Chains A and B, each alone.
Chain A
Amino acid sequence: KNQVEQSPQSLIILEGKNCTLQCNYTVSPFSNLRWYKQDTGRGPVSLTIMTFSENTKSNGRYTATLDADTKQSSLHITASQLSDSASYICVVSLTGGFKTIFGAGTRLFVKA
């Protein structure tokens, strides 16, 4: 069964600290993995995308990694800011069309 599992479900960190969010997937045939950021009351916005051959991708203070062998991805946030408070959703797409599997998300709260 195609599944995407994220951990932790929620996380509270102090402003300025780093954090890492995890995504494990059992999806086949794999095409790519994305991380989205969803602010409260808004739709998700794409942060990074990685294909099978890529194992890291950065977008400012966000760095995503992908281990296609273990089917794990992580999103590392450096020097967190209050505006990083959001849900972060891991999304895996299958080859051959429109099929995408969304994780349930990690709710991050950054406090001052």
Chain B
Amino acid sequence: DVKVTQSSRYLVKRTGEKVFLECVQDMDHENMFWYRQDPGLGLRLIYFSYDVKMKEKGDIPEGYSVSREKKERFSLILESASTNQTSMYLCASSFEGGATDTQYFGPGTRLTVL
């Protein structure tokens, strides 16, 4: 079974703090994704990566950055957390990344910024 794990299930940070969210997948998938999920909205893509050290902006990249130094690990960074970044963050991975490919999701990190 594909396993996607995220470093924290719950996180509370203060405005202005630097926040790291880590995601690890164990299936040698090429592609990894970071989404945020807010009530009443669908998942929104923040960034994705299709190879080590490669990254592409998604729909809402502002205020975020990412790092992919190793194939299995994809980190989301909030350089200076703000209250409007309070959300559920979901990481996903897929083998090929094309439109027909299944994305496998981690359990999510619920981040609260005070």
| A residues whose Cβ falls under 8 Å from a Cβ of B | 4, 9, 31-32, 34, 41-46, 49, 51, 89, 91, 93-105
Contact = CB atoms under 8 A, between A and B. Distances in A.
Contacts of A41: 9, 107-108
29 contacts: A4-B42, A9-B40, A32-B99, A32-B100, A34-B102, A41-B9, A41-B107, A42-B107, A43-B4, A43-B105, A44-B43, A44-B90, A45-B105, A46-B103, A93-B100, A94-B99, A95-B99, A97-B99, A98-B31, A98-B50, A98-B97, A98-B99, A100-B99, A100-B103, A101-B42, A102-B42, A103-B42, A104-B42, A105-B42
B78 interface: no
B99 A31 contact: yes
Nearest to B110: A41
Contacts of A94: 99
B66 interface: no
Given A46-B103, A97-B99, 6 more contacts: A41-B107, A41-B108, A43-B4, A96-B99, A98-B97, A98-B99
B41 to A, nearest CB: 6
Contacts of B41: 104
Interface in B92-106: 92, 97-100, 102-106
A93 B106 CA distance: 20
Contacts of A51: 100
